[in-house]
Structure 1
Amino acid sequence: MNQLPNSIEARDIAFQLHSYTDARKHEDNGPLVIEKGDGIYVEDNNGKRYIEGMAGLWSVAVGFGEKRLVEAATRQMEKLPYYHTFSHRTHGPSVELAEKLISMAPVPMSKAYFTNSGSEANDTAIKLIWYRSNALGQPERKKIISRVRGYHGVTIASASLTGLPNNHRSFDLPIANILHTSSPHYHSMKKDGEIETDFAKRCAQDLEDMIRAEGPETIAAFFAEPVMGAGGVVIPPQGYWEAVQPILKKYDILFVADEVICGFGRTGNMFGTQTYNLEPDMMTLSKGISSSYLPMSALLVNEKVYGPMADESHKIGVWGHGYTASGHPVAAAVALENLKIIEERDLVGHVRDISPAFLRRLHSLGGHPLARESRGVGLIGAVEFAHEALSATPGALGGKINMAFQEQGLISRNMGDAMAFCPPLIITEKQVNEMFDIAESGIETIAKAL
């Protein structure tokens, strides 16, 4: 029998498949092993400390090492470590969390359904939309529109909604009935001389043209993030949502707001829906709901969605959908405590207070000779870079900058050649400056090398 590798890095290479990773390159490079975290910082297995500039995966709102969440999980684990919500059964934490989310919703919502990730929440939303169309006697109304550069997950259906090529290549995606309209990224998509409001109107017109070409009676829903996250932190151009929402109402198309990244304070309001005055029929929530301490996500639906679905389940005798861990009591208890912390510490107000310093440093970084554009809102932003020597390989410059950040003590994420910044909501102004000081140094390192 062959001897097993001793180091955690070697064992990882031997046994684990990683998300969003070049598997062969990983065999050569190995992993960064994170062992512990505290506040906005994490530490690797060699004792090196990093600012976690992405809050994990856009998600650790209250920071790492929050003891109240550990204690909430422990209390619930001791009381009821698991139960389900199938077949008329329930438990206290799922009831309390559903009630809490409905009360927090920025527009009237009727019911909450719990899932385990943003992908599952969006996947469930698609199933529910199709179910509703059949319930209404509109079997032809099955097409769903999302946007180029939008990100909605990685299950077969949610990855189809996602408008990024690498989520489709070699996966045989997207599936049928999923369409993609224009990306609202003004900087890269504008025409010569086109001002921002005119670009927004053109995006809205592209959407309406698609609806009319496909047949309004075939379009069931439109999915969109208030601010695009993994597609590069794309901030909607001025007038965009004011132009898009009337079109959805005109053709009676459901609007699903994907709040997986924007929700729970990230944009300076509890929800991105509030930041941009949106009126969705459904909302998908995850990440910040539990600060990702445990897997938890939710789908909120209004009465327009719930009513026909409930009638159809009664006609059939069952709503044939469910996940083993939907509304898991420990995850729900942690989510409830996490939301209490966000409210008690007024982290949404803190984001509004700290945002000017964050955006000032972000846009200052955007003034570097390697930078093409900076964009941000609240406590989320990105700077996009370019250099002629690397222009033939999209993402090559971003990858170099990302590694320079990591070597100097900052964990970020490059989406192509755009570097994202999305720190825990608890970050202080001093720490914001520390983060961007490292970023500036990392960029200078790459600039000199080029």
Structure 2
Amino acid sequence: MNVQLTNMQTRDVEALLHPYTNAAAHRQVGAHVIETGKGVYVYDEHGREYLEGMAGLWCAGLGFGDKELADAVAEQVHKLPYYHLFAGRSHEPAIELAEKIKELAPGMARVIFQSSGSEANDTQVKLAWYYNNALGRPEKKKIISRKKGYHGVTIASASMTGLPYNHIDWDLPLDRFISTGTPHHWREALDGETEQEFSARLAHELEELIEREGPETVAAFIAEPVMGAGGVIVPPAGYFEAIRPVLEKYDVLMISDEVINGFCRTGEWFGADTYNVNPTSMSLAKQLTGGYAPLSAVALCREQAEVIEQHTGKIGTLGHGFTYGGHPVGCAAGVAAIRIYQERKILDHVRKVAPKFQGHLQRLKDHPLVGEARGVGLIGALELSPDKSGKKTFDPAGKLGAKLMGELVARGVILRAMGDSLGFCPPMIITEEEIDALFAPMEECLDATLAFAKAEGLV
């Protein structure tokens, strides 16, 4: 393949190893270099404009170039660019942000900070183990996650992630990590099975799994209210209402992974609110700072927090923490982001524009290449399929998703293909006119992808 790379791209391929990228192919085609951003748009090294329909990586809920948020970050850099929370030290941004999180997440009593969603979910595992040791239950350590769930890339969080690329040749998952079914009614339901019946069956399968493993060995169940990187899978009716009694029966912690769902995205402050999850703890990141600084948090219910705190008195310390966990700049960004969400009534705005966004998605479900359109709030997906049944997939998987994503980029729209599902997660400041612009090239791109599929013999 003979491709002339720009100087910027040549420097990139000689310097960087990119996550979630085919490195061999990347050396041939080079990077797509993004230089600036404003509102819902980003601009590449050649000045080309793109509507960023994924808010970067589900992060930039307030878009790009927000002056108030950037100024808050700059002010904190000048005031206190770094400090830690080790050995009882603290700083005002961390205290204020923890208080704000507690106000927004009823039932949560303590907050511990990290730098990424992966670190937050890794911390969840350690705290679940520590908590059960404190209660004298050394065998209660297994973590149940779901196939197609995404919880990160550290060794523990990747073990909970239920996607093949996060396990193949990484020697994962580790022991103590087990999985249960994906709550995707369209793909996984039996013929004639309603959403409520499907939810009841998944809850029964979860109970059977816990009993088979031994309830005395199962510590926690982790779930995204809406599954993100697994394809934006929206839970069926009654799912968490069916799951919760099973967890309570066997004294299993309910971890709500809000890394993508949190901070207005689903039309409530948290996905747990949208779907009645009632968690014992929550993992927060991404829109926590609007993407303007790395930061994540674990919020714990009072009972779990108090058991952990009392156990540190026995041991002498909480032997866990990160150098940059609770970084003052990240915390200042989080405080500012939440203030902006509240003062600009972002939650109300999401609720106002979501019907137009979801309407565009649903109108595309009749395209012959689209098997299912799904979403909630300002998050959604189109899943490409050989037919509408949900029982067939393309072979090879992912080829058409990548083709559709490329067609959209060529027309100035950035979205993300997750296999053959195309994800949508625009900045939450998006206007109705910009939603129209986001979807404007979709039918043309779907038609071009369908023509490609026919030429390749895939349909």
Query: Does TM, normalized by the shorter one, top 0.5?
Result: yes
Please list the CA deviations of residues 280-314 of structure 1 after superposition, one character each: whole Å capped at 9, or x if unmatched.
11000000000111001100001221122112111
- 5 Å-filtered alignment, 1:270-289, equals 270-289=269-288
State the partner residue of 1:42. Answer: 42
Q: CA deviation at 1:192?
A: 1.5
State the partner residue of 2:85. Answer: 85
State the partner residue of 2:13. Answer: 13
Q: Which amino acid aligns with 1:448?
A: A
State the partner residue of 1:344. Answer: 343
Q: Which amino acid aligns with 1:436?
A: F
State the partner residue of 1:156. Answer: 155
Q: TM-score, normalised on structure 1?
A: 0.97
Helix, strand or coil at the partner of 1:110: strand
Do the aligned residues in 1 keep the contact of 2:199 with 2:236 (CA within 8 Å)? yes
Helix, strand or coil at the partner of 1:221: strand
- 5 Å-filtered alignment, 1:43-122, equals 43-105=43-105, 107-122=106-121
Q: Distance in 2 between matches of 1:369 and 1:259?
A: 33
1:418 aligns with 2:421: yes
1:431 aligns with 2:424: no
Q: Distance in 2 between matches of 1:374 and 1:266?
A: 18
User: Are the structure 2 counterparts of residues 370 and 305 from structure 1 closer, same or farther at C-alpha, using a change threshold of 3 Å?
Assistant: same
Q: CA deviation at 1:29?
A: 1.2
Do the aligned residues in 1 keep the contact of 2:53 with 2:415 (CA within 8 Å)? yes
Q: CA deviation at 1:67?
A: 0.7
Q: CA deviation at 1:390?
A: 8.9
Q: Which amino acid aligns with 1:75?
A: E
Q: Distance in 2 between matches of 1:128 and 1:56?
A: 30
State the partner residue of 2:317. Answer: 318
State the partner residue of 1:188. Answer: 187
Q: CA deviation at 1:65?
A: 0.4
Q: Which amino acid aligns with 1:67?
A: K
- 5 Å-filtered alignment, 1:138-177, equals 138-177=137-176
State the partner residue of 1:406. Answer: 409
Q: Distance in 1 between matches of 2:334 and 2:192?
A: 47
Do the aligned residues in 1 keep the contact of 2:122 with 2:154 (CA within 8 Å)? yes
1:443 aligns with 2:446: yes
Q: Which amino acid aligns with 2:95?
A: V
1:297 aligns with 2:309: no
Q: Distance in 2 between matches of 1:165 and 1:277?
A: 29
Residue number among 398, 401, 416 corresponding to 1:395 in the alignment: 398
Please list the CA deviations of residues 110-152 of structure 1 after superposition, one character each: whole Å capped at 9, or x if unmatched.
1000000100000001001101111110000000101001110
Do the aligned residues in 1 keep the contact of 2:358 with 2:376 (CA within 8 Å)? yes
State the partner residue of 1:250. Answer: 249
Q: Distance in 1 between matches of 2:310 and 2:394?
A: 55
Q: CA deviation at 1:448?
A: 3.0
Q: How many residues align?
A: 445
User: Are the structure 2 counterparts of residues 363 and 6 from structure 1 closer, same or farther at C-alpha, using a change threshold of 3 Å?
Assistant: closer
Q: Which amino acid aligns with 1:104?
A: L
Q: Distance in 2 between matches of 1:440 and 1:37?
A: 26
Helix, strand or coil at the partner of 1:366: helix
Quick one: percent identity of the two aligned structures? Answer: 48
Q: Distance in 1 between matches of 2:313 and 2:20?
A: 42
Q: Distance in 2 between matches of 1:283 and 1:446?
A: 39
Q: Which amino acid aligns with 1:157?
A: A
- 5 Å-filtered alignment, 1:208-223, equals 208-223=207-222
Do the aligned residues in 1 keep the contact of 2:371 with 2:386 (CA within 8 Å)? no
Do the aligned residues in 1 keep the contact of 2:149 with 2:227 (CA within 8 Å)? yes
Q: Distance in 2 between matches of 1:295 and 1:399?
A: 28
Q: Relative to structure 2, which stretch is displaced further, 6-15 or 332-341?
A: 6-15
Do the aligned residues in 2 keep the contact of 1:386 with 1:397 (CA within 8 Å)? no
Q: Which amino acid aligns with 2:30?
A: G
Please list the CA deviations of residues 345-366 of structure 1 after superposition, one character each: whole Å capped at 9, or x if unmatched.
1111111111110011001112
> RMSD across aligned C-alpha pairs, in angstroms?
1.3
Helix, strand or coil at the partner of 2:88: coil
Helix, strand or coil at the partner of 1:373: strand
Helix, strand or coil at the partner of 1:87: helix
Q: Distance in 2 between matches of 1:269 and 1:344?
A: 16
Q: Which amino acid aligns with 1:279?
A: N
Helix, strand or coil at the partner of 1:63: coil
Q: TM-score, normalised on structure 2?
A: 0.95
State the partner residue of 1:308. Answer: 307
Helix, strand or coil at the partner of 2:278: coil
Q: Which amino acid aligns with 1:96?
A: E
- Unaligned 5+ segments in structure 2 are 455-459
Do the aligned residues in 2 keep the contact of 1:390 with 1:396 (CA within 8 Å)? no
Helix, strand or coil at the partner of 1:210: helix
Q: Distance in 2 between matches of 1:22 and 1:387?
A: 26
Q: Distance in 1 between matches of 2:235 and 2:190?
A: 16
Q: CA deviation at 1:447?
A: 2.2
